[in-house]
Amino acid sequence: MKKWWLIMVALMIVLAGCSGTGTGSTGGSGGTGGASGTSGTGGTKDGPGPAKDALVVGQDIDAGTLDPQKQGKMPDMNILINIFDTLVTRDADNKLAPALATEWKAIDDTTWQFKLREGVKFQDGEPFNADVVKYSIDRLKNPETKSPIVELNSVKEVKVVDPTTVNIITDGPDPILPNKLTLFGGVMVPPNYIKEKGDDNFAKNPVGTGPFKFVSWQKDNKVVMDANPDYWRGAPKVKHLTFKIIPNAADMVAALKTGEIDIAAAGVTADVADQLKGSPDIDVVGSPWIRTFYVSLDAQNGPLAKKEVRQALNYAVDVKTMIDTVLGGHASRVSTLIPKQNFGYDASVAPYEYNPDKAKQLLAQAGYPQGFTIQFDAGNQDSNIVQIISDMLGKVGVKVQANLVDSKTLSANIAAKKVAPLYYIGNTGWTMDAMSNFQSYIKSDRRYNRWKNDEADKLVDIEEKSLDPKQRQEAFTKLQQLLKEEAPFIYLYQLDNLYGMRKNVQWKPNPIGVLSMYNASFK
Amino acid sequence: MLSYVLRRFLYAVFVLFGVATVVFFIARLTGDPVAIMLPPDASAQQVEALRHSFGLDKPLVEQYGIYLLHLVQLNFGESLRYSEPVARLIAERLPATMQLAGASLLFSLIIAIPAGIVAAMKRGTAVEGGVLSFVLLGQSMPVFWVGILLILVFSVHLKWFPTGGIGGWRHLALPAIALGLHLMALVTRLLRSSMLEALGSDYIRTARAKGLYPRTVVAKHALRNSLLPVVTVVGLEIGALLGGSVVTETIFAWPGVGQLLIQAIYNRDFPLVQGAIILLAGVFVLVNLLVDLCYMIVDPRIQYK
């Protein structure tokens, strides 16, 4: 009897040991020997496995629908951008570049004219032309579509000029309409196919003009696509593309290690990246991302209504240490809400320096020499960030009570204005124009605004309505100076996007973070 | 018998009505789905327009009335995120969840029944100690931990099974073990103790005394009488298997009702949350009823009037 117990205990220790090497070791002998001979073993029996012409991308969330006009989130867009094309796209340097539209210009304050590419066909043979553009945007704007895509709200009408020319007419001036047509709202859908097959069928068997043809979708498992040999840019380099849905981060890393997936596009956080470093057949690829993070401050109530207090909080947070430690260096400091890559960013506005003494002095000046106590809301995935910020604020006398909730609850609370005076949030201005970064926060009538300032309102009007890039840049520069001075946020950083990639895969991430696999290939 | 079943069905309807009401109001306390669906740049008008098209701008009582009226017609509504009928979405996922629950039930019983019998018969020996400590291990490890452990050992290191997803039996093995481990432990312990009780009873002594084969005594007399509590527990645990599969499905990327429910809750997809919860509750109620009816087969002395 006693011996049996001993054996069981020994077994448990062995089991625990296995798990330890699996997660912890980076180049450990035990795990690596087996891992080197992997290619082709993992999932060859289930469809297009990791053979040389079949790319498998792991993502944590599945698309809700494959109708590109009924989705408004990145996970959906990541899959659909491989089946569909947009009017405008971005080149390797992130500049606007021709896609289904070859050129565009503003012909007056409220009219953008687009010249369209000739000879493009949908995957079912339907031709692409100006009528398609009109149909697509009309369908998007039709309330019956219930589209969650909102950025084309400025569009009043689409006029077909000739088969290769359309005029998009806006309510007021919209300086960044072409930027808005690079993703969601810019996707072109096939009119005849949708009319024939119906919306429901289109959402399950999408047909686009894109580099890959839809094959099958098993919800929350995988979306399978084949290369479109007739793609107008030329066929993609891989023959098959699969998006595999893996919600659990540990499972995602395991699938990458076994070669079941070639690219892990989610779940690679800074600590996971550390674990993967030194792995013989996996690269961790970090790429600058335009998602900026900050702590929103309720500048209308309590101690935060005083500018000195808000400035003090900015001086109190040592962002560089945060980046070097909890974020493993995979982030860069920003001075306001705008990432460095976006139009409107002005490098001459320097970020706040770390200066706790100055913070204490400003707090005393504002009438809070002993500090105060304040609530701080954040998503539970960011607990370590919240902890370090709370700690730093505590050092200058601001006692923080943190409430962690799941990220969707946080967004619901923010929208319902049931959120604490401090909350931690990120924003991706995927149009790569600072207008998107400011849009919902700065002007006093916007949904998430918690700081009212007349000058800011005027400046937002200029950058949102002027078609003159120079005038807009001036407004953005002034806005950044004003935002720094007034400090309605604690400004933090823009994160890097981290991907785990098998070493035989060649793919270059982009700063928006969209998973377009047209250029992906195997070495 | 028939009137008993009818009466039970009537109770079931009341239970489901209660569940439907509770889930309706609790879901609406958790926030606005439109606020989550739309990006921050949406204007107030756009938010209102989408809320209107989902019927979420109507007074709560009116929404509740419409919901009940639809429920009576077995109409669960349309998912906000998938824009598809809820019943169809659940029906798509149900086979995967059933497959997983069935496989883990099979796995747990195949191990637990022999283990329980052996442990009872070898009472006081090292064999019993071994079985019981194995069982203790199975019962004390949480499913999310076991799941990740199994993936690391059998997928990453040994490469016997894929890390997740659905496919053939190789995809099924690890999640079924992870999910079934707890039930296996429970049934083993239960069967062992009720076998011990049966083996010590007078009728077993009589059966042995009249010279029956030991195998017949155990299989026909002792086991059959020990199964009653096992049937009860297994029946109740089927509901837990379906509910517990929420965690297992997420770990193993298994596309079943559990994952659907989790995503629905994250997205505040009210119609889908309601449909899935009512379904899980319905399964629970139904299995309970079946368990009660099964008693009659296992123990002919039990009769329902």
Domain count, chain B: 1
> B171–A30: do the CB atoms touch at under 8 Å?
no
What sign does the CA torsion over B69, B75, B81, B83 have?
negative
Residues A156 and A167: beta-carbon distance below 8 Å: no
Q: Is B74 exposed, middle or buried (0-12, 13-18, 19+ CB in 10 A)?
A: exposed
Position B244 scores a pLDDT of 64
Would the CB atoms of A415 and B32 count as touching at under 8 Å? yes
Distances (CA, A) of A303 to A75, A309, A363, A368: 39, 7, 9, 8
* Closest residue on chain B to A144 (Cα): B53
At what angle are helices B169-199 and B126-140 packed, to 10 degrees? 130
Mean pLDDT, consecutive 10-residue stretches, chain A (523 aa), reads: 46 40 32 33 42 88 93 92 96 91 94 95 95 96 89 92 95 92 95 94 95 94 95 95 92 91 91 85 91 95 94 96 92 94 94 95 94 94 92 95 90 88 92 91 88 94 92 96 96 94 93 93 91
Cα–Cα dist B162/A298, whole Å: 49
Q: CB contact, 8 Å: B157 with chain A?
A: yes
Min Cα distance B13 → chain A (Å) is 31
What is the model's pLDDT at position A20? 34
pLDDT in tens, B51-96: 888 888 889 899 999 999 998 888 888 888 888 899 999 998 888 9
**Neighbouring-strand partners of residue A216:** A224
Distance from chain centroid for Cα A91: 18
β-sheet with A111-116: strand ranges across: A101-108, A111-116, A165-170, A155-162
From B38, B166, B267, residue closest to A150, measured CB to CB: B38
Residue in A67, A72, A413 nearest the CB of B37: A72
A201 — contact with chain B (CB < 8 Å)? no
B46, B53, B267: residue with CB nearest A408 = B267
A447 contact B CB<8A: yes
Q: CB B253 to CB A246 under 8 A?
A: yes
At A515 the pLDDT is 95
Contact A150 B125 (CB under 8 A): no
Please count the residue pairs, one from chain A and one from chain B, whose beta carbons lie less than 8 angstroms apart: 194
- The kind and range of the H/E element at A342 are none
Beta strands in A109-265 (DSSP E): 111-116, 155-162, 165-170, 212-218, 222-227, 240-245, 263-264
Is the pLDDT confidence value at B41 over 90? no
Range of the domain at B11: 1-305
Q: Chain A contact for B152, CB < 8 A?
A: yes
Q: Which residue has the tokens 């469809």?
A: A47
Residue A254 forms contact with B (CB below 8 Å): yes
Q: Residue A67's pLDDT is what?
A: 95
Q: What is the CATH number of the domain that holds B300?
A: 1.10.3720.10
Cβ of A22 within 8 Å of Cβ of B125? The answer is: no
- Distance of residue B269 Cα from the nearest chain A Cα, in angstroms: 11
**A153 in reach of chain B (CB within 8 A):** yes
Residues β-bridged to residue A423: A296, A377
Give the pLDDT confidence of B193-240 residue by residue, as tens digits.
888 888 888 888 888 888 878 777 787 778 878 888 888 888 888 877
Looking at residue B304, its pLDDT comes to 67
- Asked if the Cβ–Cβ distance from B157 to A247 is below 8 Å, we say no
- Determine the longest span between alpha carbons in chain A, in angstroms: 90
Q: In A, which residues are within 8 Å of B267 by CB distance?
A: 64, 408
Name residues whose C-beta falls within 8 Å of residue B88's C-beta, 6 or more positions apart in sequence.
none
DSSP state of A16: H
Interface of B with A in 206-245 (CB under 8 A): none
Shortest Cα distance, chain A CAs vs residue B132, angstroms: 10
CA A411 to CA B40: how far, in whole Å?
A: 9
Contacts of B119-124 spanning 24+ positions with Cβ under 8 A: B119/B188, B119/B192, B120/B191, B120/B192, B120/B193, B120/B195, B120/B196, B120/B199, B121/B195, B121/B199, B121/B218, B123/B196
Q: How far is Cα A66 from Cα A212, in angstroms, rounded to an integer?
A: 14
Taking CA–CA distances from A246, the nearest residue in chain B reads B253
Q: Which residues of B touch A219 (CB under 8 A)?
A: 89, 92-93, 255, 260
Q: How far is A7 from chain B (nearest CA, A)?
A: 9
User: CB-based contact (8 Å) between B27 and chain A?
Assistant: no
Res B297 pLDDT > 90: no
